Structure 1
Amino acid sequence: MLHLIPASLHRQLYRVAHRLRGLWLRLRGGEVHGCSIIARDATGRVLLVRHSYGSGWWAFPGGGMHRGEDALAAALREFAEELGCTVTDPVHLATVEEMFHGARNVAHIFTGLIDGEPLPDGREIIAAQFFAPDALPPDTAPNVQRRLALLTPTTG
């Protein structure tokens, strides 16, 4: 049903929702659960995306988990929704705790090889690009380096 909303209006709604969620989390605190995928191509480059809302930084694709949802299922769902493709042989790297708008974010981090061509949905994701891990853009989210450090020679 949401695909019936023009993309430009959808992006505006994401911005408003992001601000409201941040305000709610700052007031309420507590805990949120999310997931993220470090998708790699055959040459070892990593996929970073830009969201239509928030900081505008390059970040790993991912998102929130539904109540009771398996972390891997959530990561693959978010990836497919946002980029129209998936990853093969996903591996769970770690579960990390980070602060997110004043709440504790429990983030499940996965990696795998990309399967297909990433096509940003133009609504939530406005850009997707591969980068060499040692040549990331200067406007990269602070957690990208910490998450990249989770890769080992056998996983990345």
Structure 2
Amino acid sequence: MKRIVFLMIVLSVIYAALFSEKARLDREVDRLCAIDGGIRVYKTVTLPPDMFNDRGEVIFYQSDQKIEESLGPKYIFKWDVHYYKKGDPAANGPQETVMKRTHIKIIRKADIKLLGEFVLYSRGGGDLPGPWVPSSYQCPSVIEANSTILIKKIFIKSIEEQQE
């Protein structure tokens, strides 16, 4: 009986330690996201209708290219990741944690003008050890903001197409 009580106390302490770290990192993600998270567009670029596919996406975006060259020769797609806490929960187990800031910028090469940027904060892991997939948390959500939405907000169809 004493062993069971001791084991329950030890497991409770381990569980609290793991989940308090997870909750602390989630609060930090929210705090930093409130400061500069999300999409900001500084300048839009109006393009002719033939520069868009039938889903309204710019046809010169090539996700299979080197990241900086994925928007072709006229624009730079810059992707930076800063780790606040390094870790690899997917490889080392869900108990490990990682927290990072992903910053994407789209820059016009001709005048080095920043057209827009996207900042995402995320946490992974911090769960009980086991064979399951680590949990994750991010701000803003993928539905609210992502690199595809940033591209669609910067590159817009010319007025002629919108009036037809």
TM-score of the superposed pair, with normalisation by structure 2: 0.23
CA radius of gyration, larger in: 2
TM-score of the superposed pair, with normalisation by structure 1: 0.24
Task: Name the structure where helix makes up a greater proportion of residues.
Answer: 2
Task: Name the structure where strand makes up a greater proportion of residues.
Answer: 1
